[in-house]
Amino acid sequence: MSVPFEDRLAASPSAVPARRRPNAALRAFLRNPSAMAGLVLLAAVAALALAAPWLFPGDPLDMVASPLLWPFQDAAFPLGSDSLGRNVAAGIAHGARVSLAVGVVAALLNLGIGIVVGATAGYFGGAVDDLLARVTELFQTIPTFLLVIVVVAIGQPSVPVIVAAIGLASWPVIARLVRAEFRTLRETEFVLAARAQGSSHLRIVLQEMLPNALPPVIVTSSVLVASAILIESALSFLGMGDPNAVSWGSMIGDGRELLRTAWYLTALPGAAIVLTVLALNLVGDGLNDALNPRLRGR
């Protein structure tokens, strides 16, 4: 019988105080060639996003070239231009800023909601746990992408609304992980000792339990960032993205009508999405191997 991804992560031993593990985990991560390849690739995408205003100043939506220039046809526009004469290279560079920002901020929002809900449920248990578990299950019964579409349709299709929609739709994964970890940790010796010393609930949660529950959460964060990038791209492809911001998904959507005659308009931003998601998955797998003691020695 297969074990759910969240439960496999939560099952990793975490009763050893977190401050004893960082050095060994870091060494294991740095020795993982796949993780290093993903980290280098992700750093390159982040560097492109940060350097976009200097590499391609001005609005990437401006029409600056002849329409439908193919890649390398004009040295001034190395990746060509679209049907409106917009620079494809500028769109990919500036689109990296939007896609990465949506992914990172939405993942942070997921973490904030999920950690609060999961930690509260797992630490207190009882009726509080039952209530929050039912709320989490309620959100999980709604397809994530459908909920995001509904929220964006109700609000304005802008980057902040898209980020909020993704954050509100995806937090149950983190909540389940944190709840499972806290249910395991609340009866460990160092938590019982903190209670015996009269530590407050907030101090026990933040200083004793949360650091030991973070490894599976950190691993899942990379998946959340990748998922948020894909959701934003799908929304933009459907025409529900921010019309005032260029993203990889909006570039694919704009080029789909010319797929047969100018396939590069969809292939190039699509390749950017694939490489970024691949890099995040490689980093996530490396973190899982490094932070899970059962896998570290393989």
* pLDDT tens for the 298 residues of the chain, in order: 444 444 444 444 444 444 445 677 788 888 889 999 999 999 999 999 999 999 999 889 899 889 999 999 988 899 999 988 999 999 999 999 999 999 999 999 999 999 999 999 999 988 999 999 999 999 988 888 999 999 998 888 889 999 999 998 889 999 999 999 999 888 888 888 888 888 888 999 988 898 888 888 888 888 899 999 999 989 988 888 888 889 998 899 888 888 888 999 999 999 999 999 999 999 988 888 887 655 554 5
| DSSP notation for 10-40 | HTS---S-GGGSHHHHHHHHHT-HHHHHHHH
Evaluate if pTM is beyond 0.85.
no
Query: Measured between alpha carbons, how far is 28 from 35 in angstroms, rounded to an integer?
Result: 10
Instruction: Say what the alpha-carbon torsion angle 249, 47, 173, 189 is, to the nearest 10 degrees.
Output: 180
Neighbours of 153 (CB within 10 A): 12
Instruction: Could you please state the CATH topology (level 3) that the domain comprising 21-55+84-292 is classified under.
Output: MetI-like fold (1.10.3720)
28 CA to centre of own chain: 23
Domain positions in the chain: 21-55+84-292
